[in-house]
Structure 1
Amino acid sequence: MTEEGPRCPPPLAGSRRAPAAGPTDPSPGRRAAPAGGWRTATVRGVDRPTPRTVRLRLEVPDRVDHLAGQHYVVRLTAEDGYRAQRSYSVASAPGDPLVELLVERLDDGEVSTYLADVVEPGDQLEVRGPIGGWFVWTGDRPALLVGGGTGVVPFVSMLRTAAELGRADLLRLAVSTRTAAELPYVDELRAAGALVVTTRERSGIRPPGRLTAADLVPLWEPGQTAYVCGSTPFAEAASQLLVGLGVPAADVRVERFGPSGPA
C-alpha cells in the first residue's frame, strides 16, 4: 500500500462465493441484529490456513459489534471505476478487537483472487457490516451446527462467542470436508468437540463417507435450533437429513454458498 491509498485491482471478472440472501428480521421476541455502514478497514493480519484460503484480520474504525453468524461485504474498485463486492462470514467473536474473515480463493473469482494473492498487512479495504439477521446465534439458546467445508466459518464465530460467554455447552457441531487438511480451523473445531467427517480419506477408524443421519442423532436434542451452512448441494442434503430425523423445518436455518449467476 502506498501513502495515497490502497492498491486498486485491475478490472475484475469471474464468479463469486457469497451467502445466499435470507430473511433479515429476527424471530418474534428476539432483539434486532446490528447493522453497520461502509468503513475503510485496515488489514492487520494475513495468513493462509489452508492451500486455498486466506484469513484476513481487519481493524474497522467505529465498528458496530456483530452477532455470531453475520457477515461483511468487501468492495474493490478498479482504476477504471469498475466495482465488485462479495460477502464473507465473520469468524471472530464480538469481543475480538479485530474482524476476522476467511476467504476461499476461486481461480476465476473477481474478488477472492485479489484478497488471497495481493492484499498485505497495512492495506486498506472498503467494508460494510455487520449484515444479516436470520442466520445469527445470540448466545442464549442451544443449537446444532452442521457445516460443509468453508461453511464452518460462521460456526467458528458461534463457538468463540460461546467461549466468551462461558456457554460452550449450548453448541454441538458436525462438519463435513473432503480432507482434514482442506478444512479451515480444523484444530479449533476438534478442540471444541466437533464431529469432523471426511469424504476422501479415513478419519480414525471411520472410512471415507458423507455425513449421515446416524451421525446427527447423538447431537440432536429438543429445543435446539439447527444451523446449516455450506455449498448448495451440501446445504440441501443436510437440511433433508435433519427434517427426515424429525427436526421441525421452522427450526432449521440455512445459509448456502456458491457461484453467482447473472444479476
Structure 2
Amino acid sequence: MSADRSIDDVVPRETTWTTGTIITKEQPTPDQVRLRLHVDDRQGHDPGQHYVVRLRAPDDYTAQRSYSVASDNDDPLVELLVERFPDGEVSGHLADVAEVGDVLEVRGPIGRWFRWDTRTPAVCLVGGTGVVPAVSMLRTARRLDRRDLLRVAAVGRSPEHLPYAAELARAGALVAYTRHDDGDRPRGVPTAEELAPLAAGAEVAFVCGSPRFVALATPLLIGAGVDPTTIRVEQFGATG
C-alpha cells in the first residue's frame, strides 16, 4: 500500500461484498467492542471511510450496520469499534457472540464525502464513538508527518466511556469530559473560544457523533469561526 497518497490520487473502485476474519477482539468497556479484521481482497482506504458488516442467519435473513475505520491504511488489519445498542441485532452479536476466528461478510471502504485527503488543513469535533474516524485521521497524519494539518477536539462522558481517550490525548487532541473534571479543565463541552485556536486556518471541518451531539457541535464550530459550508457531518444512532 502507498505510504503517501490522497483522495486525488485514488481511482475509486466499486466495492463488493467480501469476507473479514476476526483476528483480535477486545472489549474496552461493557458497551464497546474493538475488532481487528483480516479483510480478503482488501482495498486501500482513506481516513474517515467506513465498512458495512452484514450478518446472515441460517434462513438467509440478513442484518447489516456501518462502522467507521479506526486504523491507518498501512495497518495490515482493518480496525472497527462497535458500540453495543440495546436490542441491536448486529452490535449485540459482535459484542456478545462473535469470537476470534469468526468470518464476517463485509463491504468497504465506503464514503467519499466524509474523508480527509491528508493535504487540506482540517479540524475535527467528535463525540463518543464518533471519535473513530478522527483516530484514523490522527494515525494517518502521524505516519505521513502531517500532524500540523489536523486538529481534533473529542468529547465524552468520562475517560472510561470515551474510546481511544489515552491515544487522543497523546496525539495532542483537546479532550473534554461532560461528567468528569480533567486536571485544570472543568467538566463540560468545549466552548467556541476553546475551539477557535484549533479551527484557525482549517479549510474543512469534520463532525461525527450522535444526532444530539451533532446538533450541539455544528453551531460551536461556526461560533469558533469555521465557514459552515466547509463542515462535513456524519451522525449515527441505534438504527443507523
Structures share a fold, TM > 0.5?
yes
**Which residue number in structure 2 is paired with residue 231 of structure 1?**
210
* Deviation of the 1:110 alpha carbon: 1.1
User: Residues 50, 33 of structure 1: CA spacing in aligned structure 2 closer, same or farther, 3 A cutoff?
Assistant: farther
Count of residue pairs the alignment pairs up: 235
Query: In structure 1, what is the Cα distance between the partners aligned to 2:217 and 2:96?
Result: 33
TM-score by length of 2: 0.93
**Which residue number in structure 2 is paired with residue 52 of structure 1?**
31
Q: Equivalent residue of 1:175, what SS?
A: strand
Stretches of structure 1 that go unaligned for 5 or more consecutive residues are 1-26
Q: Equivalent residue of 1:48, what SS?
A: strand
* Deviation of the 1:64 alpha carbon: 0.4
Q: Which runs of 4+ in 1 moved over 2 A?
A: 29-36
**Which residue number in structure 1 is paired with residue 90 of structure 2?**
111
Report 1 or 2 for greater relative contact order, CA contacts < 8 Å, sequence distance ≥ 6.
1
Moved more, 30-39 or 46-55: 30-39
**Which residue number in structure 1 is paired with residue 164 of structure 2?**
185
Query: In structure 1, what is the Cα distance between the partners aligned to 2:13 and 2:166?
Result: 30
Contact 2:68 2:133 in 1 (8 A): yes
**Which residue number in structure 2 is paired with residue 123 of structure 1?**
102
Stretches of structure 2 that go unaligned for 5 or more consecutive residues are 1-6
**Which residue number in structure 2 is paired with residue 5 of structure 1?**
none
Contact 1:50 1:183 in 2 (8 A): no
TM-score by length of 1: 0.85
Query: In structure 1, what is the Cα distance between the partners aligned to 2:218 and 2:45?
Result: 26
Q: What are the superposed Cα offsets for residues 12-36 of structure 1, whole Å, 9 maximum, x if unpaired?
A: xxxxxxxxxxxxxxx9x78565552
Contact 1:71 1:88 in 2 (8 A): yes
Query: In structure 1, what is the Cα distance between the partners aligned to 2:167 and 2:74?
Result: 18
Task: Please tell me whether residue 150 in structure 1 is matched to residue 129 in structure 2.
Answer: yes
Q: Equivalent residue of 2:28, what SS?
A: coil
Task: Please tell me whether residue 213 in structure 1 is matched to residue 188 in structure 2.
Answer: no
**Mapping for residues 55-66 of structure 1, pairs under 5 Å:** 55-66=34-45
Task: Please tell me whether residue 101 in structure 1 is matched to residue 75 in structure 2.
Answer: no
Query: In structure 2, what is the Cα distance between the partners aligned to 1:30 and 1:175?
Result: 29
* Deviation of the 1:206 alpha carbon: 2.0
Instruction: Report the AA paired with residue 149 of structure 1.
Output: G
Task: Please tell me whether residue 136 in structure 1 is matched to residue 115 in structure 2.
Answer: yes
Task: Please tell me whether residue 161 in structure 1 is matched to residue 140 in structure 2.
Answer: yes
CA RMSD of aligned residues (A): 1.8
The sequence identity of aligned pairs, in percent, is 56
* Deviation of the 1:175 alpha carbon: 0.8
**Which residue number in structure 2 is paired with residue 10 of structure 1?**
none
Q: Equivalent residue of 2:151, what SS?
A: strand
Q: Equivalent residue of 2:74, what SS?
A: coil
Contact 2:38 2:78 in 1 (8 A): yes
Q: Equivalent residue of 2:236, what SS?
A: strand
Contact 1:34 1:65 in 2 (8 A): no
